[in-house]
Every structure is written in C-alpha cells, then in structure tokens.
Chain A
C-alpha cells in the first residue's frame, strides 16, 4: 500500500515563529488532507488539497502531486497551534480510505 512519511517528527517553536511541515507519499493520490489534532484529541480539518495551493489565515498548504509531496506552512505561530499535525492520503479505489502519516508534534512556547 501507499506509504506516507512526515517530517520533522517533532518541532519546538517560540511564539511568532514560522514553520514548514512536510509530507511525502509513495504513489499518486486522489485525496490529501491535513489535520490538526489538538491537545484534547480532537481532529480538525485544515486542508483538502490533492494538488495546488490553498491558504486559510496564517496557514497555507501546497501539494505538488507530480513530485509526491505536500507542505504545510504555519506563520506567526501561536500557542494554540500546538498539537499533532497529520497528513493523510487516499491513493484510489472505491473506499476512499485514508492512509495517515505518523504526524508532526508541534510545541509552541510563549
């Protein structure tokens, strides 16, 4: 099956700093989503982005499908950005199931 690798596994920032999270995948994808899991365990949808670039406030994402990677940018980080960021992909088929990476644990210190 498709492999999803995220980097870095851990990241510690000071409030106000910028960061880039990376997701590499081993095959072509029909769907790619970025999620934020907050410290309470809730999974929050950030982007549905199988290709192209999207922006939502301080967050933006770019997927280069031909090169099999996606980037999540966080600008002017805040303590509320802390948590785990997951990339998940679907590589086709009729079930649309997502294969998740192991996540990037982001800690933003005040």
Chain B
C-alpha cells in the first residue's frame, strides 16, 4: 500500500470555524491532490500540487486553500467552514515516473454543524 495518511480521520466542527486537514506521504511523490466525495457527485478535485509551494485550483476550489511547504505534507484549509463543506475528503498522490497512477489516502469525514 502507498504510504499515505490523513489526519484527523473524523472531525465535527461548527459553522464559521477554521479547519485544517493534513495529508502526509512517505513515497516522495511529486503530485498531491485533494478531492471531496459527496453523494451523487463521485469524487471532485479541490486543489492539487505539482511540487513544494506549487499549487493550483481544481473544479470545486471556492472556500478552500492549500499549502505545501514540504514534499511529504499537503494541507487543506477551510478558512470559515460552512455546512456545504460537510463531506468526505480524500488525499491522493502520484508521480510522473509511474505514469501518474493515483493512490488515495483513507479519507477524512468532516461534519460542519
């Protein structure tokens, strides 16, 4: 299994509070991604990173920011959580040397009350 961990695994928070989710990898892969999974939508890309301090937006980036200060860590921040951000969040990694096959972390279930 690819070495990807996410923390926390579960979180309940209130509307308006800041939330940071962490993705940590031990594979030294270049690319890292944050997806959210919602019923009826499958998985949708929020943000991705193609290197340290190199990030870009995905298709559902509003209300989210990311940071990558080290190869192994990719942080997703909800500056002011809303109920519409209740979801399951998955981190993924890939590397150009392996045809960019993506591998996923275990997910974080976030509930915003």
Q: What residues make up the interface of A, taking CB atoms closer than 8 Å to B?
A: 1, 30-31, 33, 35, 41-43, 45, 48, 86, 88, 90, 94-103
Contacts and interface: CB of A to CB of B under 8 A. Distances in A.
Interface of B: 31, 33, 40-45, 48, 50, 56, 58-59, 88, 90, 92, 94, 96, 99-104, 106-107, 109
A50 B87 CA distance: 29
Nearest to A86: B42
Given A101-B42, A102-B40, A102-B42, A95 B56 contact: yes
A23 to B, nearest CB: 12
A88 B103 contact: no
Contact of B42 (A41, A48, A97, A103): A103
A102 B100 contact: no
B48 A31 contact: no
A86 B43 contact: yes
Nearest to A1: B59
B104 A43 contact: yes
Nearest to B49: A95
B101 A48 contact: yes
A1 B58 CA distance: 12
